[in-house]
A and B are shown apart, each in its own frame.
Chain A
Amino acid sequence: MHDLSMNIEHVTRIEGHGNIVVDVKNGKIEKCQWQVVEAPRFFEAMVRGRKWDELSHITSRICGICSVGHTMASLKATEQAMGVTPSEQTVTLRKILKHAENFQSHVLHVGYLVLPDLLGVGSVLPLAATHKEAVLTVVRLHRLANDICDLIGGRTTHPISCTVNGFTKLPDLKALENIKERLTEAIPDLKAVVEIVKSLADRLPVFVRQTEYIGLKSEEEYAIYDGKIASTDTGIHSVDEYRSIVNEYVVPQSTAKYTKHNRDSYMVGALARFNLNHEQLTPLAKKVAAEIGLKAPCYNPYMNSIAQLVEAPLSVEECLRLIDEILDKGLRKEDHRIEVKEGKGVGAVDVPRGILFHEYTYDKNGTCVEANCVIPTNQNHASIQRDMETLLPSIIDKPPEEIRLMLEMLVRAYDPCVSCSTHFLTVEFI
């Protein structure tokens, strides 16, 4: 029987500010909390009174890391509200951009933020000396993903050229051909990263907590841009029903809005998508999953990083397929003007960290009168909390440093994006 008091303020190598607080007295767990202490930013209030064509530029600023995803959810919500269906060309370009973001985000997370844990160091910086080739490989992949976003979106963070019903600027076909070549050449790099992670994967804790997994699902492909809401517990739901899926609620003793659906928590993100859509993985992604031993259904949240690693080749292969479609058909300049009208629309996309919803209501002048954004990390907070509560009793006899690392790694596995703080509360903790 022992005491343990742990207050990990501002967990590192995650996006945003969160704390882990553990208090054990005489072997009894008095407190075990995942707390979010990010400054709230009130986006839903900020966009009230703004025009329809400004919304995606404003809400993209919710998050620097998933700004492409927020842009897409925003554009889709506005398009549905205005009764607009974007062209096939627009959708194809958006999917390329979306997969490039997925690729970029997963490479960043697995390569820069998780790998140091597996190698027992504090960051990627010392690895530049000890594992130079590995780091340079990760950097090359990261650069490629960013270059695709730059080309399609005009800028990788807070894309410029994506607009309602189209693009203000189309990519150059020669540049797209060049990207295609680089993507093909990147496959050995990708395999090298898989090999490194595979050789270290046994350092990921084995921890199982079965829960509900929610993500987008489409009959056509492994869904990340479009689809219906799918739950491993309750099946398929229409996107318009999203409020009855997320059921946001406020927990006074916690810092963030929680969500729950069929159980007291659910998980979103790469592992949820893998559990729901693994049959639609592309050939190389399937091969990577098999090699690294990721099998559906997987109930170990630490394996979310591995699911991200499996989605990296998926996104590369999907980019290649979609770029081929564009190169085949060529690009034509399209008129993206729309008729502004009043209405309400919901946009759902599955971003690197999970399913994301934007919902807007516009008046007849195209002025936003109401907005609601439900962010993946919000949907994962309850799951992180429940995981911690389940995990802690089973590791309580380990040395404090090991407990600390396992809890930090758990939070990191979710790749939380805490700045997406539209809903976050801030409470002063004692």
Chain B
Amino acid sequence: MKPKVAFFDFAGCEGCQLQIVNLEETILDLASKVEVVNFREAISERGEDYSIAFVEGSITRQADEERLRGIREKASILVALGACACTGGINALKNFQDMEEIKKIVYGKNSLYFDTYPARPLHAVVPVDYDIRGCPINKNEFLKVTTALLLGKKPETPNYPVCVECKLKENTCVFEKGMFCLGPVTRAGCDAACPSCNSNCEGCRGLVDDPNTNAQKDILQKYGLTMEEAVGKFRIFDGYLEVAKCMI
């Protein structure tokens, strides 16, 4: 029997599910190996019986928590898809402001109709088995992780910094170009996408498990940058992490 797979999403842009569609012909091959029972963005069929659930987006209200718990109960494997689901991602930028205040900024006097709390990654609500990181996810990494899961293996994803992939691509170091980069402490797997476009790493894949913060501090010092700037940059995608919470 083919494994039953489902896709769900919470607060997010659905760009990660789009990366799966962007696998083009490969997605048709993959779809022939599984039974997709729930993928609202792409199919009308809806089933509640599934073994693997891929979940995109952050949790930002009570109703989301209940829905996520329901998904967790049904799925034997739950995979967090993308930065919003894995680390809170860009949604956590609002966590640094007063919730009542932000409701007023966006909705004015009608703000009472809204329900929102500081954005949280999935793992803050239910246990998550695997993370596929990034904003958006790397479609090849999705394929790698899914293939491993279908073969009953434990998926391996990088736990080394973006600098490793950046060096392999022989890019000039972003700091050498006078910009600030989060590559030294950010988890790789993106093939150093941003530095390869002469842009800085914005940390969308979260930290490696054991970040060399001393090295990051040394680099900041060497290039005359402050910790405050570093924390400010971290908040774009990693506001939920302790490192970004400090110095509020």
Contacts and interface: CB of A to CB of B under 8 A. Distances in A.
Interface of A: 10, 12-17, 39-42, 44-48, 50, 54, 57-58, 61-65, 67, 108, 112-113, 116, 122-125, 128, 135-136, 139, 142-143, 146, 154-158, 160-161, 163, 168-169, 250, 252, 257, 419, 422-423, 425-428
Contact of A122 (B10, B22, B43, B102): B43
B228 interface: no
A365 to B, nearest CB: 13
12 contacts: A13-B43, A17-B40, A44-B105, A44-B106, A48-B105, A58-B236, A65-B15, A154-B199, A161-B198, A169-B196, A169-B197, A169-B199
A123 B116 contact: no
B25 interface: yes
Interface in B98-151: 101-103, 105-108, 110, 113-116, 135-136
B90 A61 contact: yes
B97 A48 contact: yes
Contact of B45 (A46, A123, A168): A123
Given A42-B116, A58-B93, A139-B24, A13 B19 contact: no
Contact of B61 (A45, A128, A425, A426): A426
Interface of A: prevailing SS: loop
A125 B115 contact: no
B44 A12 contact: yes
B90 A63 contact: no
Interface residues of B, number: 59
A422 B110 contact: no
Nearest to B101: A45
B103 to A, nearest CB: 8
Interface string B39-54: 1111111100000000
A154 B193 contact: yes
Given A41-B11, A64-B15, A158-B135, 12 more contacts: A41-B94, A42-B103, A45-B97, A45-B102, A61-B15, A61-B90, A65-B18, A125-B43, A154-B193, A155-B197, A161-B197, A169-B199
B116 A108 contact: no
A67 B57 CA distance: 16
A13 B10 contact: no
A108 B23 CA distance: 13
The 7 closest A-B pairs by CB, nearest first: A64-B15, A123-B43, A45-B102, A122-B44, A154-B197, A39-B11, A64-B13
Contact of B25 (A136, A146, A158, A161): A136
A122 B106 CA distance: 37
Name which of A39, A48, A156 has the most chain B CB atoms within 10 A of its CB: A39
B16 interface: yes
Contact of B42 (A54, A67, A123, A163): A123
A425 B107 contact: yes
Interface in B189-235: 193-194, 196-199, 202
Contact of B110 (A10, A44, A425): A425
A39 B85 CA distance: 14
B61 A250 contact: no
B110 A250 contact: yes
Contact of B136 (A12, A64, A142, A427): A64
Contacts of B186: none
B42 to A, nearest CB: 6
B91 interface: yes
Nearest to B17: A64
Given A15-B14, A128-B28, A168 B198 contact: yes
Contacts of B107: 250, 257, 423, 425
A206 B91 CA distance: 41
Contacts of B44: 12-13, 116, 122-123
Contacts of A250: 107-108, 110, 113
